[in-house]
Structure formats: structure tokens, C-alpha cells
Structure 1
Amino acid sequence: MTLDPAELSAHTARDVLRTVCTEARIVSETIETALLLVSELVTNAVVHGGGRPALDIDVRPDLMHVSVSDNAPGTPHVAHEPVTSEHGRGLFLVETLASRWGVQPSDGNNKTVWFELDRVPRTPPGLRPV
């Protein structure tokens, strides 16, 4: 899905991801983490990436893979900003909360930043996790 190059793109991405996660019956804790992380990646793509960011969501039985592509060259880096900082903590959150993440450069002028979250199986009603 290609998003508009505007700050509301993060809102749109969260709405789309929430719908996909709900339909895939992903547990709420995983959904909340995914929503935070996609918001950070899309915001970075809009602010630093130029052009229209592209969102890709792949839900598998054991994991969720989310990627955001933009038109900026280079590899973003994790900044270790103070907790009180309003900016610069997006990739730190991705690094901290994602099961895995990375950056895939493409033709020299584009890149894709992705994260994966391991899926926690839902406990059927009436059963308790062991």
C-alpha cells in the first residue's frame, strides 16, 4: 500500500495494520506493539524519506512482518536520545520491541526498513496457558 507523504500517513498505516491484525486474530499485546512500531517507521519515512512511503504487511502463522519503504538513500541509525526527547527515539523503540528488524537498501536511492514480531498463540476460551 502506498501512503500519502503527510503526517496522517502514520494514522492510516495504524488503521490498516489494526484491521489486518484483527482479521488474523493476533493477540492485543502484539497488536499494540505493532501499531507503535509501524507508526514510528512511517513517520520516519515521511519526515526523512521523501516521496510516498510504501507499507507492506505479511502475517504468517508464527510471525508478523511489516516493512516501510521510502525514497531516501542511506541507512538509518539508532539514536540513543534521552527519555525526555520528543524526537529521535523511533528506531530505538523498533530495536527494543521488535523480535527482529533491519534495513534493506534497494537500487541506491530507496530503502526498506522492516520489523518482525513473533506471534503469541491465542489461548482457546476456557483453557489457561501453561
Structure 2
Amino acid sequence: MRAETSVAPALSAVAPARRWARERLVEAGVEPARLEVLVLLVSELVTNAVAHADPPVTLRVDVDDVRTRVEVTDGAREDPVLRNPPPSALGGRGVMFVDRLSSSWGTTPEEGGVAVKAVWFELRHDDVPADLARFAPQA
């Protein structure tokens, strides 16, 4: 399953993007433990794009037999920065969550469109962080 949607360049667009992604992931049959991790990470990528990047912002979800890949494209040339903020910091943890909870992540240049780069992550279907798996709803 592959799907994409445009995201308005405003923080108010994060919740609708998260809901859209959840609906697509449920339709694709993603299991509950992975679903919660994926939705959290979608929220982090979309928040970063609308808060720090330039429009247009597009959210893509691609689920196959092996993994789920999420991409957020935007018009900014700067790559996200992995930070390790102190506990007292109010922000700066989004990329850290993506780094620690996904199977892999990175950025790629976008070719031939208005967007400049895609920030992406993948979560293999056999890879659920143990700390989060215990919080998943039981089937």
C-alpha cells in the first residue's frame, strides 16, 4: 500500500496528518505495537517539517511485506539535526525519537519537483522496540 497527502505548513496540520497516517496504516493491516510507534514517528517528522522547513510539505506512507516506510518532503535545504537535549529542554527530541525507535532513517534529495528533500524512516515489521511493545493494545 502506498499513499500520500499534502500537509498544510502550519502546526495545526500535525494532528490531521497523524490521523490520516493512522487510518492508512490500519487499512494496510499494521499491527498495534508497530502502529503506535509509527504514528508517534509520523508526528515527529511532520512537526519538524511544518515548524522548521519550507512548503510544500507532503507525507507519504508505503507498507509492504517487510517494512513500513514514511517520508515527509519539504522545500528546505537543511537536513534535520540529531540532538541529545537535557531533560529540562522543552524541545529538540523529535529526530532523537526517530533515530532510536525506527529501524533506519535518513534524508534523500527530491528530484524534479518543488520539494528539495525527503526525511524518511523505516520500521521493519519484525522490529518493534521492546520498551514500547509492552504498551501496545493486546489483540
Which TM class, normalised by the smaller chain length? 0.7 to 0.9
Which structure 1 segments of 5+ residues have no match? 121-130
Q: Which residue of 2 aligns with 1:71?
A: 75
Which structure has the greater CA radius of gyration? 1
* TM-score, structure 2 as length reference: 0.80
- Partners of 1:21 and 1:76 lie apart in 2 by 25
- The sequence identity of aligned pairs, in percent, is 37
- Partners of 1:100 and 1:81 lie apart in 2 by 21
Q: 4+ residue runs of structure 1 moved beyond 3 angstroms?
A: none
Shift of 1:66: 0.3
* TM-score, structure 1 as length reference: 0.85
Q: Which residue of 1 aligns with 2:118?
A: 112
CA deviation profile, 1:66-116 (whole Å, cap 9, x unmatched): 000111112221011113322111000000000110011236x71110000
- Partners of 1:35 and 1:60 lie apart in 2 by 17
- Partners of 2:88 and 2:66 lie apart in 1 by 35
Query: SS state of the match for residue 103, structure 1?
Result: strand
Query: SS state of the match for residue 80, structure 1?
Result: coil
Query: SS state of the match for residue 73, structure 1?
Result: coil
